[in-house]
Amino acid sequence: MATGTRQKGRAMRRKLLWGTLGAVFVALVGGAVVIVRDPDLSAYEPFREPKLLTLPDQRVLVVESTGVPAEAAGKAFAALFGLYFKLPGVSRWSMPAPRARWPQIGSGEPVNWLGRFALPVPETLADVPSSALEGGLTLKLDTWHYGEVAQILHVGPYDQETPTIQRLQAFIAAQGYQVAGEHEEEYVYGPGMFCKGDPASYYTLIRYPIAKREAAGSLPVEP
C-alpha cells in the first residue's frame, strides 16, 4: 500500500474514533478504571432562567475544608475523587456532579470560609473506608436536606458568578420568598481530570433553600 494511502487510512480511523468517543474518557481514579462521559448539557438549559422547584434529600460523601474557596475546593475535590470509586455500590460508568455548600465563617474577604464539598452516594451506604486526609481535611457521610429551592444556571467562569447570584436572589424576593439556608453550587461541567478546559463553557447550578418570607427563620445568606 502506498504511504499516502496508509496515512489517509490512519487519519480516517482517528476521525472515526474521536467522532464516537470524543466525549468519553477512560481514567484510573483511586485505583479503579473509570469511564467518564460528558453530561447532557441540554438538560440544564431551562435553568438559564431562575426557577422554583422541590428536590429530595440526598446522601452525600463530604469533605470539609476551611480557607480561601478556590484553594479549599481544589484540595477537597482531589480527596473526594480519590475516595469515591473505592466505595461499594457506586457506578464505574459515570460520576455524579460534585457540589459544595458555603456558610461564611468570618467577615470581609473570603479567606476563612468553611466549605463542604460533596459527591452523591447510594442511600444504602452506611459507612466509608477509614482514610487519613491531609491538610486539615475532614471526611464524613451526611444527608443534605433540600425541599423547596430556587435554582439558576451560571455559564462561564466561577469568578464571574456574582451577577447570576444577584439575579437568583432578586427572583427569590420577587416570588415572596427569602433564602433559608446555605449557598450551594453543583458543578455540572467544569475542569476535567485531564485539563482545565475552557472556563467560558463551565456549567454551574446555583441554588438556595427558600421559605415564604413570613415563615422563614433566617436572613438571606450571602455567598
Length in residues, the chain? 223
Per the listing, cell 496515512 goes with: 7
Tell whether the torsion through CA atoms of 136, 137, 138 and 143 is positive or negative.
Answer: positive
Structural domain boundaries in the chain: 39-212
C-alpha count within 13 angstroms, C-beta hemisphere, residue 181? 17
Report pLDDT for 129: 66
- DSSP output for 7-51: HHHHHHHHHHHHHHHTTEEEEEETTEEEEEE---GGGGGGGGS-E
Taking alpha carbons only, the member of 88, 75, 76, 82 closest to residue 128 is 88
Q: Enter the CATH code of domain 39-212.
A: 3.20.80.10
Report pLDDT for 35: 54
Report pLDDT for 18: 27
Report pLDDT for 150: 98
In a 10 Å sphere around its CB, with 0-12 CB exposed, 13-18 middle and 19+ buried, how is residue 4 labelled? exposed
Report pLDDT for 22: 37
Per-residue pLDDT of the chain in tens (223 residues, 90 and over written 9): 454 545 444 443 333 222 323 344 444 445 555 556 678 899 999 999 999 999 999 999 999 888 777 778 888 888 888 888 888 888 767 778 999 998 754 445 566 778 899 999 998 888 876 665 777 788 889 999 999 999 999 999 998 999 999 999 999 999 999 999 999 999 999 886 556 788 999 999 999 999 998 755 545 554 4
User: Residue 63 forms beta bridges with which residues?
Assistant: 117, 139
Residue 6 φ then ψ, to 5° = -65, -45
Report pLDDT for 185: 95
Distance CA 206, CA 185 (A): 5
Report pLDDT for 136: 75
